Each structure stands twice: as C-alpha cells, then as structure tokens.
Amino acid sequence: MKVDSIHTGIVLDHIKAGRGMDVYRYLHLDELDCPVAYMRNVRSEAMGRKDIIKIDANINVDLDVLGYLDPGITVNIIVDGQLVEKKKLSLPEKLTNVITCKNPRCITTVEGALDQVFLLKDRARGVYRCMFCDAERKSKALR
C-alpha cells in the first residue's frame, strides 16, 4: 500500500492500534475539506501494530484531547514537505469539556452552562476527578 507524503499538515503517529478511529471521530476529521489518510494496524517495530492519521492541511488540534485519548501519540508538524516539529503527548493535568460527569447530583449535570472540568488524580492509572463533586473517570487510553 502506498500513501503519499504530505506537503503541509499534521501526522498523528504512534496511535494505539485500533484507537485511530476514536481520534478521527473526536477531532471531526470527516468534516475537513482536505485529504485525510487513516491507516490502521500498520506494522511498527516499537509497538507491534499502530494506527496513523495524516492530515494534508495545517489545522489546530487540541493536544489535551489527543493526550487524553492516547497519551502515546506523536504529533508531527510538516511544512514544505519537511518535519519541523515533533510533539510527544501525555495525559493532561486538566480537561475542560472533554468528558462529562456521570454523577446525577453534580452541579454540572444540573447547570448545563457550567464547564465540565476534570483534574488528573492518578497518572499511572489515568484517573481524573470532577472538580465539583470528586466523581472519578478513567482515561479511555489506559483501559
């Protein structure tokens, strides 16, 4: 299989195998008006298998969301066919409006206008805690 290189854009590499479609959906890549290549189960010496997403446009990507979905993702910025920046992600310390609180008594459930804010409680287990009621949510990446 041959996928051409991109001239200017972003390559999301080292996505955990099978998780690329979650990233694709969450970033709404289907709504872009540019070429997007999604490769699944690509062979990798380091990971065994991985997913890769190539976006042939310079778009803004929420690195906190990517870090939450899969902290192992590498974001490669390509300009004029050259790699100009490589960003390694990790679980973000704070998430705002990325996940929702499941506690029916939480003020964010009652007051829809409030932001859903979660703070990282346990990096090793990927556990986040609601800033308002302390309800816990676990990162999808570490499940």
The model's pTM is 0.82
Residue % of the chain over a pLDDT of 90: 50
- Percentage of the residues of the chain whose pLDDT score is greater than 70: 94
Model confidence pLDDT, tens digit, residues 99-125: 899 999 999 988 878 999 999 999 999
Distance CA 25, CA 46 (A): 26
Q: Which two tokens stand for residue 119?
A: 């703070």
Greatest C-alpha distance within the chain: 52
Q: Kindly report, residue by residue over 59-93, the tens digit of the pLDDT.
A: 888 888 889 988 889 999 999 988 999 999 999 99
Contact (Cβ atoms closer than 8 angstroms) between residue 6 and residue 14: no
* Distance (Å, whole) CA 137 – CA 129: 6
Q: What is the structure's pLDDT at 141?
A: 63
Domains of the chain: residue spans and CATH: 9-88 (3.30.70.140), 94-138 (2.30.30.20)
Amino acid 3: pLDDT: 61
Tell the burial category of 129 from Cβ atoms under 10 Å away from its Cβ (0-12, 13-18, 19+). Answer: middle
pLDDT per position as a tens digit, 19-54: 899 899 888 898 988 889 999 988 888 888 999 999
Residue 40's closest CA among 26, 28, 50? Answer: 50
Q: What is the pLDDT of residues 132-143, one digit of tens each?
A: 999 999 876 655
> Cα 131 to chain center, whole Å?
21
d(CA 137, CA 19): 19
Alpha helix stretches (DSSP H) within 49-102:
63-69
